[in-house]
Structure 1
Amino acid sequence: MRLFKAILLLMLVVSIIPTLMVGWLSVSHTRELLIRDAQELAQERVKQLRLKAESFLEDPTEMVVGLSSVPGGFFTLSRDTQKLHIASVLNQRPEVLALTVFGADKQRLPGLQAFAVHDMAPSAVAEHEERARALLDEGLTGVRYSDVVASQGGGGPVVTLAFPVGDPVQGYMAADLTLAGLRQMLAQERVGSTGFAYLADRHGRLITGGGDLGAVGDDVSKRLPLAHLLKQREGTPDTELFHVGNFGEGRNAVVSAYSVLPEAGWAIVSEQPVEHAYRQVETMERRILLGLGGAILVALVLAAIFSRNLTQPLKTFIATSLELARGKFGVEVHLKQKNELGELAQTFNYMSKQLLAYDMETRGLYESLEKGYLETIVALANSIDSKDAYTRGHSQRVGDVAVEIGKELKLTERELRQLQYGGILHDIGKIGIAENILCKQSRLTDQEMATMREHPAIGDAIIGPVTFLGPVRACVRHHHERWDGTGYPDKLKGESIPLLARIVACADTFDACTSTRPYQKAMPLEKAMEILDNLSGAQLDPKVVLALRAVLAQRGVRLEGHRQPVKLAS
């Protein structure tokens, strides 16, 4: 699992980091391009609006100024001809609401004033003349425009222009121009979904425009783009200015561009909320982020699949190797990959088969050797039993009964084999006992009994040098130890007596009771088991005695009526 995580992490690092870097560079570069495109769009929009505004203002202005350049001079014409020229301007340019001619003394010349009857009230004509006189008092050297005012008839904003005629000055002309068409044009101008454009004079007062900015003449100088413009114009009021950029912060931030109409000094401004102006930027970022998320997800899935395809066979190799290590030779790894892992699996399977062949050969040799050992052991045991006709076959029977008890106690195959050997060899030490004592038909004296009790230690000494029989030594040395600790040769007690020795002791006692000896006849099984029950907890391990009884029950041995020695099949 740790290797899977390591490979998965490595794959993710290798795939995701470049993806994130490319995504970040793409977002950064594309964001700059889109922001620049949005600002260039605002710049181009303002340029177009300025051209339109200049056209709205210049066309009627040129028509009015054209009166000063009539052949021979306007003031050399007859009064009727002058009136015709004035009427012609009003008829041709509906933007011109009123036109008044002043003398060189700045007084209105009688009869040389005309105005659109349907568009101007008499009071509006008086206001027109008042604005014209204010311009004349400023000392004109060319065309000059007044501040924009709202028309009384609701026809839109109105501006008054005045200019001198002749050089030297022969008189002056003044005209009122309606900016209704300009207002309509700005109102229809679409700056995105929520932006707008507007026109302001040199003092920061509204002339006309879209949006909810207020009425003509309202102060809009606090709006950030216009405030920036007014600050830039300080000291250089007649300089043509242009600027585009972001203004403000947070929800009030706008993308704005502004430009100045040089003739009138008005500012044309375009505003659009940043969140709407840069919506393409947000859309692009969202799409790139979604693409990055998809790429990362794909990388994660592919990395997981690759890691699994690499680590899963390794898990199979590990599990199979453990089986091989536990001795299950011949086990194979089944992989369908046709790569290095597949080749490794084929090599592993070949090795496992070779080990199986070697194991089978070794097992045959081992079984042959073990059979030779067993035959040697049986021969040793028979040599002991042959000294006494009454004990002939005793060692073999003890080994068989001990194995049956061991099976009931769920011992391993290795422990059962040790029981078999231990049962056969438990009396091997009697080789060192004199035959007159070993074969004596009557009861042994105390000294002879002491000599007889030396056979467990003698047997331990005999098989001690044989490494193969090392685990059997406990059976040989301790099969006469007692559960209560009064046995010999080491007076071990209870669980301190090795289990295999306790089993051999029980089997030995059972066979002694059920076979004929010089000092007793073979007992019935009922009597033998009664004696073993009495010895349980004193001489014998109660658990082992119960196991022997269970063995007899499982083999279907009926305890009633038996008088012959019993041999249990292993």
Structure 2
Amino acid sequence: MRLFKAILLLMLVASIIPTLMVGWLSVSHTRELLVRDAQELAQERVKQLRLKLDNLLSEPTEAVVALTNTAFFTHPPVQQRALLGSVLSQHREVLAITVFTAQGERMPGLQAFAVNDLPPTAVAEHEARARALLQGLTGMSYAEVVHQGPQHVPVLTLAFPVGEPVKGYIAADLSLAGLQELLLQERVGSSGFFYVTDRHGHLLAGGAALGENPDISQRGPVEHLLRQLTHSPDSEHFHVGNFGKGKDATVAAYTVLPELGWAIVSEQPVVQAYHQVGSMERRILMALGGAILVALVLAAVFSRNLTRPLKNFTAKALELAGGKFGAEVEIRQKNELGELAQTFNYMSKQLMAYDMENRRLYESLEQGYLETIVALANSIDSKDAYTRGHSQRVGDVAVEIGRELTLPERQLKQLQYGGILHDIGKIGIVESILCKQSRLTDAEMAIMREHPAIGDSIIGPVSFLTSVRACVRSHHERWDGSGYPDKLKGEEIPMLARIVACADTFDACTSTRPYQKAMPLEQAMQILDKLSGAQLDPKVVEALRRVLQKKGVRLEGHRQPVKLAS
């Protein structure tokens, strides 16, 4: 019952997990809502400002365009000048109007300015901007905004054709001083601001906090806008998001006026825009902190009686996992933990008994496998007295080389089996060729070269020997790619096959054959050195040399075949 109560209390403490999850989800969800609300507010602000800007520009523009509704070119010059004067007098945003012929020439007497004493340079600049717009003009067109006068008032020049077919053109300068006033009146929190930029990232109005440099193309939201305009210049873009990092991070939104290519941008510091988000997070985190503190205190009190015996269980379980069967837990408590300890100890003893039995069976099975493999190899070697014991020696040498190359124990066993079975395919070669005492003809050599593929097909269906198939099939591949049967080259040849190939060549050199006597080790190693890099892997040849040196074998003068014992 005591363990039950302790577990019950711990389960109660565990309720903090869903509390944390709910708190985290609440923070995340509420944060998303508040961030979205802040961004939607920024979006709504630029939309409202765009409507105001449209209204600001539409009235003087419509007044100038209205001249086309009065059959302007049919009136006498006096009445035409009167119409121009009325537009200038009724709309102070209109600074200048000029009428051009269908050929683009200024019509005499049809050029009016809101300021009588306008400098000649200003008149010439106005006319130059207007003429630039007339090139290929088919509808309303706008020039780049310029700043005039000591106050640097932004001025927009527009032009449009009159009549169909075109009877002439009308161009006008519009003052954007009202735009600057409009932006100053609009507020974005306590420290945010609006500004208007053209399609090149030049400041047109607003943005007093941006400084005196008109080029703001590198500013986060403007740079983002310019990239969007590059991909789709004629679309109506809108975006809202976070820009910048650290203290300079802002929440910005912009919208584009496609006809003018202008963008209305609002910026507000992230700290101010997401003020509610921070306040909400602090409140929730404080509440979660209090709950976690209480849970930790309770967990420390009620888990103490459980952690001590469980540490003993953990240590003994790790010993079992490490293969130390028979480990026992010592717990004197007469409760569920005591019963669990007795069960654990019984299990550990049973595992020790099973492990000993399995080890015995595995060793017996492994010995049986090895004896079977040796028997298969002997069935080949028995056909030729000169090669008797060759397969076993190749396996032994291959294991020594693999151990020198620090291969794992599993691969060393594969080398042992692969070395013994590397010539198993010779079972399929007729004895007249296999046991021939003289050199083979080309046709006989072609048949003999089939034995790696034959051996691969023989052991292929045996799942136990799958890992040594590469030794059987590829032990006659050459480092330079001229071997057989697959013409593998360099690292393409499996490592185990490269080792068996080296051991095979070494035994062939140090054993007596029908066509040669056993070579001294010094001469055999000289031959292997010559084959290194062409037939054999240089690293494997060098490993064999180190094996001989560690065995204390002196290469000079040694003339007996060598078998390297493990």
TM-score, normalization by structure 1: 0.49
* Structure number with larger C-alpha Rg: 1
| TM-score of the aligned structures, taking structure 2 as reference length | 0.49
